[in-house]
Amino acid sequence: MTVKSNLKMELSEAVSKFKQLDETISHYTNVIGLANWDQRTKAPKKGRALFAKSIGALSTEAFKLSISQEMREVLETLTQPENFEQLDQVTQACVRERKATFEKSKTIPSETYQEYVVLMSTANNSWEDARKENDFSLFAPYLEKMVELKKKFAEFYGYEGHPYNALLDEFEPGLTVEKLDPLFKNLRESSINLLKRIQESNYSPRKDIFKLTYDIPSQKAFNKFILPKLGYDLDAGRLDETTHPFALAINTGDVRITTRYLEDNVRSAIFGTIHETGHALYEQGVNPDYEGTVIRRGTSFGIHESQSRFLENMVGRSKEFWTHFYGDLQDHFPTQLSNVPLDDFYRAINLVEPSYIRVEADELTYNLHIMLRYEIEKSLISGEIEVKDLPSVWNSKMEEYFGITPPTNTLGVLQDVHWSQGGFGYFPSYSLGNLYSAQILNTILKEIPDFYALIEKGEFLKIRLWLKENIHQFGKLYTPDELIKKVTGEEPNSAYLVDYLENKYRQIYGI
């Protein structure tokens, strides 16, 4: 009896200590988030580098707490199987998350981490120069060091199977090469095949519509008009402008998004804003009871991207969406659009075309851009290819997937910032998001059969509440794997995205 009650005391003490630590780190994280938002949107140029040090100091404090002796002790107690099973579901999820961070962080020796932080900033500068000069050799030595470090990280983290699994896990817990390869193989083969058929078809959507100038005040007015209609709560967020749009959650009552307006590209602001709104609805929809805990955020990069892509593509690029909103868009841009029929507009926003630049790619070819990067990252980490081979590997893969070869490295291997930042393992989450979003759409269509009819009427509430109830509210309560199975009843399956793309473009291109 005595032993049992002592254990109980110990457990409840450990739980309360853990909750305190979790909450303190969460508060720090919120403040760091707000500071980062300010750096990227409002802070004057001259103050940014100075303030970066303040953010760095606070981040270090949060990091120290997450790997502190106290954290080690409470995690040791709470992860004892006989203790863990007594915890409620929310505490279990918080312990799981903090434990994963603890395990990862403590494995990297501090001098290796320091080397990595320094390399990130020098590699980024060299990447910018290389891109400007179209000279891969300026970036290559830094990228070589980065790949070597990332290989080391993989060894420190530990993995089963392919070493790249250790890096994938950072962005999509539980994801492996062994799971991803068959998913991507199916998607790659069918996308290449569909692209060929589209190129061989006699039809091509109009391009003239988007070669016109669209004034920025009207773009802003249209964006502000559709934002609340999509369910974004402007009392729990705000919209600002940045060169690279993003969404950032300070807490469930303060989820901010940014967009950018380009006179010569009206699609950028419209679809960029809808995309970020998808991220924001996720964060605004998390159960507010999770505030102050580690599970208060979206569960993974892939699931997050599924929510933004769902809103941007499945909803925002649908015929029904524009059946409802096209009249409003025409009212904002009468000179450009009053003589353009809805059907022409709808097909034009769904134009498919092989292109060099990932961020400008359409819904179909986007995944090919990702899979190209995935194959390259995997081979770099396993040592099958070396950094010096990259331009030629890149170009031959472009030829194989798209049938085009970039005329310069700036339009090819040098286009993305990710590798200079050490972001190996990040790219797959974009396509994984697309894959999840089609699988989720398949489930929604069964549960809300009038899904498209509602969109055509401009009624998004039922759809948003479905997403909130089935996905958003849970935050990190479930791992991405568990969540997808819970929502759709099965493991990730690329067949849904393949079918969705096939049906959509067969109709648009008459193939």
Q: Least separation, in Å, of the C-beta of 357 and Zn ion?
A: 17
What is the DSSP annotation of 128-162?
HHHHHHT-HHHHHHHHHHHHHHHHHHHHHH--SSS
Residues that bind Zn ion (CB under 5 A): 308
Q: Go through the chain and tell me how many residues it has.
A: 511
The Cα–Cα gap between 143 and 170 comes to 20
Tokens of 415: 């286009």
Amino acid sitting at position 250: I
For the chain, give the longest Cα–Cα distance.
84
Nearer to Zn ion, 308 or 420 (CB): 308
Is 178 part of the annotated catalytic residue set?
Answer: no
- The bridge status of strand 247-251 relative to strand 254-259 is antiparallel
Helix intervals (H) in 471-510: 480-488, 495-509
Q: For residue 484, how many C-alpha atoms fall within 13 Å in the half-sphere facing its CB?
A: 25
3-class DSSP state of 17: helix
Q: Least separation, in Å, of the C-beta of 275 and Zn ion?
A: 6
Nearer to Zn ion, 94 or 269 (CB): 269
SS3 of 323-391? HHHHHHHHHHCHHHHCCCCHHHHHHHCCCCCCCCCHHHCCCCHHHHHHHHHHHHHHHHHHCCCCHHHHH
Q: Least separation, in Å, of the C-beta of 433 and Zn ion?
A: 7
3-class DSSP state of 357: coil
Sign of CA dihedral 144, 145, 151, 153: negative
Q: Least separation, in Å, of the C-beta of 359 and Zn ion?
A: 11
432 and 481 in contact (C-beta within 8 Å)? no
Q: Which of 97, 172, 276, 363 is catalytic?
A: 276
Q: Least separation, in Å, of the C-beta of 435 and Zn ion?
A: 14
Nearer to Zn ion, 191 or 308 (CB): 308
149 and 350 in contact (C-beta within 8 Å)? no
Nearer to Zn ion, 78 or 257 (CB): 257
Q: Least separation, in Å, of the C-beta of 415 and Zn ion?
A: 17
Q: Least separation, in Å, of the C-beta of 233 and Zn ion?
A: 19
Q: What share of the chain is helix, strand, coil (3-state, %, to 5)?
A: 70, 5, 25
State which residue has the least CB distance to Zn ion: 308
- Which residue reads 């457990």 in tokens? 11
Nearer to Zn ion, 190 or 308 (CB): 308
3-class DSSP state of 251: strand
Smallest CA-to-CA distance from 215 within 284, 287, 253, 266 is with: 266
Amino acid sitting at position 71: M
Nearer to Zn ion, 308 or 313 (CB): 308
Nearer to Zn ion, 22 or 416 (CB): 416
Nearer to Zn ion, 80 or 421 (CB): 421
Q: Least separation, in Å, of the C-beta of 80 and Zn ion?
A: 39
For the packed helices 45-66 and 89-107, what is the interaxial angle rounded to 10 degrees?
Answer: 110
The Cα–Cα gap between 424 and 419 comes to 6
**Catalytic residues, which ones?**
276
